[in-house]
Chain A
Amino acid sequence: MIFEKRTERIVLAIFFVIALCIPLFLEDNSFFVGKVTTILILAVFVMSLDFLVGRVGLVTLGHALFYGLGGYLFVILTPEYEAVNFWVYAIYVMGISALVALVVGVVVLRTSGIYFIMITLAISQMVYYFFFDSLEFGGSDGLFIFMKPDTSIFGLSFLDLDNPSHFYYLSLLAVLITLVAIKIILRSRFGRIVEASRLNPERTEALGYNIFAFRLISYIIGSTLAAYAGLLFALQYGYVNPQFMTWEMSGTALVMSILGGMGTIYGAILGTITYEGLLYIFEHLSDDWMLFMGGSIILMVLLLRKGLAGYLEKLLEK
């Protein structure tokens, strides 16, 4: 069983049962389905961040760089008025993102601690301004996707991306795959060494492991997953712009992951849903939603020290 904790199994079971049913009950309400789809896509992004920050120990404030990159790469690679195959191009996008993560990783992993936070922030800001000031990539308006790709595999097509419910299930699938993939990685020998190098880098190094290489590979994995989430987000809304890679985006994802319970992975899903849910409620209650949102964040830091997952585990674990 890759889900070791009882709380984890309960939370995920409830989540997937509800998530599977949502489009069945809300067939007519495509706005709501779209909203939940966005939350699922964000959950993928936040899980990939949670893996890096909570498990590998790489506190990055520039993760949104790859979120935006996923969207931009897709638009740049595809011909403007031709529906391409989704899966093929998803692989292209993730492949190039992995290469970018390799280069960025080699640079940022030279630093550690607070400097790591700052250099990741600086690199993502640099790329943000690159796209923001660029003429060929649409500047601050970004780029538009005119044709939704088709999703057939060997000529068989199950999903029509123009249908909100179909897109919803594609995103739910991404959540499932990301969750299981990260869990399998963490349970593997590789994952154990990565965690060891977070908990005690000196000792891990002394055992003969090249922790730089392990961190670099983890950084590439986390960044590539983020790029996939960004690709989905861009496809859902039909555009990509520099706002995808602002530091606020990275910061918000960090808030979601801490809120859910850092390093628990399933907590990232909880955190994303809770954050977006609160945001939705506050935005509808008042123009001053930021005040309530900020207040809630402050209260949660002070009261929920281990996040929502930590709180639930205290209730449910024996």
Chain B
Amino acid sequence: MSTELFFVQLINGLQYGLLLFLIASGLTLVFGVMGILNLAHGSMYMVGAYLVWYFVAVTGSFTVSAILSAVIALGLGILIERVLIQRLYNRNHLDQVLLTIGMIFVFNSLQSILWGNDPYGVAVPEALSGSVPFTDNSSYPVYRIFAALICIAIAAALYFMVSKTRLGMLIRAGESNREMVEALGVNIKSLYTIVFAIGVMLAAISGIIAAPMRSIVPGMGESVLITCFVVVVIGGMGSIKGAFVGALLVGVISTFAAVLMPTMSNMVIYLFMILVLLVKPQGLFAK
């Protein structure tokens, strides 16, 4: 492998890893704070991608479409939490698994009813459509760099929110002792609604950002969901820092595996996860 190819793949891997982090952050946030294992998280990623595709087709503007889609996702998150998830707080993980599998069915079906089963693509916004020369004979698309920067910005915002704001303080408090937070007069119910809605929105935003880079197809949610599980398990369930490290590791490893050993590339991240769990059964940044 030449140095040039190495760096191109490294950047590809990091960029993919950052996107994975964005998806996984919502999953791990919801699990860490609320103890809810949301298998329908991948469906929210799919919803984001389909919504932005639909609005771009209607309005023609990627920015407007992205904002609209993210807001709708936030509303959807509030709705789902209020109608369904709220009833599951006192149940075990199995019931959550079952309910969210039911949600996957519903969302996949709605997707096919509303938008059909053809693959779609979203054009890269005009302002970001060029590419940056990398060396003499290779270049890197501007949109991918932009996507990576957005992911970093959101990661930073998330970090700031959790560690510096009042909401973040409540989230951290709710994580460690739910009853105590309630006793102090905080409305934990609405806190949970907010956290779940943020989780859904993060998944949808990932779908929006990924839309111009990947094809929008039925089943896109499930494949990304399983990869996200690997990410959060490697990092330690519930840990946002862990999800960040796990996502970058998985992004880089799977990108290099696809180049170096194509026939085994799909297996490699699972193998890596198993190795991590053998050394650290609770993931790298377990609480």
Which of A's residues lie within 8 Å of B, judged by CB? 53, 59, 61, 107, 110-112, 114-115, 117-119, 121-123, 125-126, 129-130, 132-135, 247-248, 251, 254-255, 258-259, 262, 288-291, 293-298, 300-302, 305
How many pairs, one residue from A and one from B, have CB atoms within 8 Å of each other in the complex?
A: 128
Q: How far is the CB of A280 from chain B (nearest CB, A)?
A: 16
B102 touches A295 (CB 8 A): yes
B149 within 8 A of partner (CB) = no
A297 & B226 in contact (Cβ 8 Å cutoff):
no
Give the nearest-CB partner of B238 in chain A. A114
A-B CB contact pairs (8 Å), 8 listed: A115-B283, A117-B37, A122-B229, A254-B97, A290-B106, A290-B112, A294-B104, A297-B105
Q: How far is the CB of B72 from chain A (nearest CB, A)?
A: 20
Q: Is the CB of B93 within 8 A of A291?
A: no
B134-142, B198-206, B265-273 - the one binding chain A: B265-273
Chain B residues lying within 8 Å of A251, measured Cβ to Cβ, are 39, 97, 101
Cβ-defined partner of A123 (8 Å) among B84, B97, B99, B270: B270
Residue contact A301 to B102, C-beta cutoff 8 Å: yes
Q: Are A114 and B237 in contact (CB under 8 A)?
A: yes
Expressed in whole angstroms, the minimum distance between the Cβ of B219 and any Cβ of chain A is 10
Contact flags (1/0) for B248-287 with A, using CB distance below 8 Å?
A: 0000000000000001111100110110011001110000
What is the distance, in angstroms, from B225's C-beta to the closest C-beta of chain A? 9
A119 touches B277 (CB 8 A): yes
Asked if A126 and B274 make an inter-chain contact with CB atoms under 8 angstroms apart, the answer reads yes
B109 at the interface (CB under 8 A from A): yes
Bound complex: CA A61 to CA B98 (Å): 12
Of B102, B229, B267, B277, which one neighbours A130 at CB under 8 angstroms? B267
CA gap between A133 and B273 in the complex, in Å: 19
Taken residue by residue from 102 to 128, chain B's Cβ proximity to chain A (1 for < 8 Å, 0 otherwise) reads as 111111111011000000000000000
Nearest chain A CB to B278 CB, angstrom units:
7
Q: Would B37 and A258 count as touching, CB distance under 8 A?
A: no
Q: Given contacts A110-B277, A258-B94, A298-B84, are A126 and B102 in contact (CB under 8 A)?
A: no
Task: Give Cα distance in the complex from A134 to B110, angstroms.
Answer: 35
* Shortest beta-carbon distance from B252 to chain A in Å: 18
B166 within 8 A of A: no
Contact size range, B: 35 or more
CB distance from B154 to the nearest CB of A (A): 25
When chains A and B are docked, how far (Å) is the Cα of A115 from the Cα of B263?
A: 28
Complex Cα spacing A200 to B239, Å: 28
Q: How far is the CA of A302 from the CA of B95 in the complex (A)?
A: 9
- Tell which of B95, B105, B230, B283 touches A293, judged by Cβ atoms closer than 8 Å: B105
- From residue B110, how far is it (CB to closest CB) to chain A in Å? 7
Give chain B interface residues in 67-110, CB to chain A under 8 Å: 84, 87-88, 91, 93-95, 97-99, 101-110
Query: In the complex, what residue of chain A is closest to B96 when comparing beta carbons?
Result: A301
* Interface status of B233 (Cβ within 8 A of chain A): yes
With contacts A114-B93, A294-B105 known, is A254 near B98, CB below 8 A?
yes
Is A298 in contact with B110, judged by CB distance below 8 angstroms? no
| A121 vs B237: C-alpha distance when bound (angstroms) | 15
Set of chain B residues within 8 Å of A298, measured between Cβ atoms: 84, 99, 102-103, 106
Q: In the complex, A182→B107 CA distance in Å?
A: 37
- Provide the residues of chain A in CB contact with B273, threshold 8 Å: 118-119, 122
Tell me the smallest distance from the CB of B146 to a CB of chain A, in Å.
32
Measured CA separation A53–B94 after assembly (Å): 9
Cα separation A111 to B275 with both chains bound (whole Å) = 12
**Given A59-B93, A118-B233, A262-B94, A107:B278 Cβ within 8 A:** yes
Q: Taking each of B31, B95, B102, B229, which has the highest tally of chain A beta carbons within 10 Å of its own beta carbon?
A: B102
Given the interface pairs A119-B274, A126-B270, A129-B267, the reply to whether A111 lies near B105 with Cβ below 8 Å is no
Residues in A whose Cβ lies below 8 Å from that of B267: 126, 129-130, 133
Please give, as numbers and ranges, the residues of chain A lying within 8 Å of B37 by CB-CB distance: 114, 117
Within 8 Å CB of B91, what residues of A? 305
